[in-house]
Amino acid sequence: MKNTFKTVVMLALLQLANTNVKAQAIPDSTMQKIDEFRVFYETLGKVYPPDSTVSINETVIAGVKSYWLNKELLNKKNLIVYLHGGVYTYGNFNTYHAMLSHLAKSFHAPILYIEYSLSPEHPYPTANNEIFNVYQELQRKFKGSEITLMGDSAGGGLAIALVGEVQEAKVPMPASLVLISPWIDLKCINDSYESKKALDPILSKDFLYNHALMYSSNSIKEADPSELKFKKFPPVFLLVGTDEVLNDDSKNFYAFIKPIQKNSKLKEYDGQKHVWLFSHIDSVKSRESLNDIKEFILASNK
């Protein structure tokens, strides 16, 4: 609860006044707020300690700084690629180290965290291109391995966008996707922005839309994962809290993708806020989520 209150205060201070600025012309005052929030966002990754038994190895893949967790398990022929959230603007490995270490321990699998470039300094499609290049390198280096894409919030949108690029380039699809509280519709027009507004202390429509404009350089339709069309799609598991404004992002994407991929799964977690595992890895609902994800990955990668 204390962590949530701190987030609410910082988000209130961060409100970006001008939603029509070009990404390459962000005012200094706005960049100062962004830099301050980046520092604060990093502290959120310290609300619980990392699992000290999980190995960490920094690396560079396709020119992009990345981090392996449980690298010694790569011989198992399955790996997870993690794409972090932060509205395309915040987050680094220090922010996600603790949560990822517990995921790696729970799944007993190697996880590659990609430290993609952030907006507004590096707007769309910079991060998308970096992630695609890393994915191609992994396909070359670990032929025959089952790759699961996992992402939270904006990272979920990036995972969907990567599948779109993979489809277009005709390279092998990932084995499965796991999306936690994904932000998919950058237009921010879903009903849950209003119906869940009073329940969500973390995100708001204005906050998300302002960052969508910065990330997309005001060309939201081009950058929007919800605008993509798919002929095929990997098995996907969407996890979302009942108490978050992004609730309909998961529901709407599930309704869209289920006819294309019958092994799609959607689960709502009662009373949970945005990316609840990030705040409370040992809660009952977080442990339930970890077990659900493990079962889904095992079933999808058979």
pLDDT-above-70 percentage for the chain? 92
- Residue 290 reports pLDDT greater than 60: yes
**Residue 301's pLDDT is what?**
83
Mean pLDDT, residues 226-243 taken together: 98
**Residue pointed to by tokens 């992402």:** 151
Task: Say how far apart CA 220 and CA 214 lie, in whole Å.
Answer: 9
| Three-state secondary-structure class, residue 249 | helix
Q: Which residues contact 124 (CB under 8 A, 6 or more apart)?
A: 88, 215, 216, 217, 219, 222, 223
Under the banding of pLDDT at 50, 70 and 90, the label for residue 288 is very high
Mean pLDDT, residues 107-130 taken together: 98
- Residue 182 reports pLDDT greater than 80: yes
- Residue 11 reports pLDDT greater than 80: no
- Residue 8 reports pLDDT greater than 80: no
Q: How many residues does the chain have?
A: 302
- Residue 6 reports pLDDT greater than 60: no
Under the banding of pLDDT at 50, 70 and 90, the label for residue 22 is very low
50-108 tens-digit pLDDT? 999 999 999 999 999 999 999 999 998 899 999 999 999 999 999 999 999 999 999 99
- Compute the half-sphere exposure of residue 290: CA atoms within 13 Å on the CB side of its CA: 22
**Residue 7's pLDDT is what?**
63
Q: Which two structure tokens, joined as six digits, stand for 86?
A: 């932060």
Task: Say how far apart CA 99 and CA 277 lie, in whole Å.
Answer: 7
The residue range of the domain holding 140 is 2-300
Helical pair 93-107 and 284-300, crossing angle rounded to 10 deg? 70
Mean pLDDT (the chain, rounded):
93
- What's the CATH code of the domain at 52? 3.40.50.1820
190-221 tens-digit pLDDT? 999 999 999 999 999 999 999 999 999 999 99
> What's the structural domain count of the chain?
1
Q: Which residues contact 286 (CB under 8 A, 6 or more apart)?
A: 276, 277, 280
Taking a C-beta distance cutoff of 8 angstroms, is the pair 66, 112 a contact?
yes
Q: Which two structure tokens, joined as six digits, stand for 248?
A: 């309909």
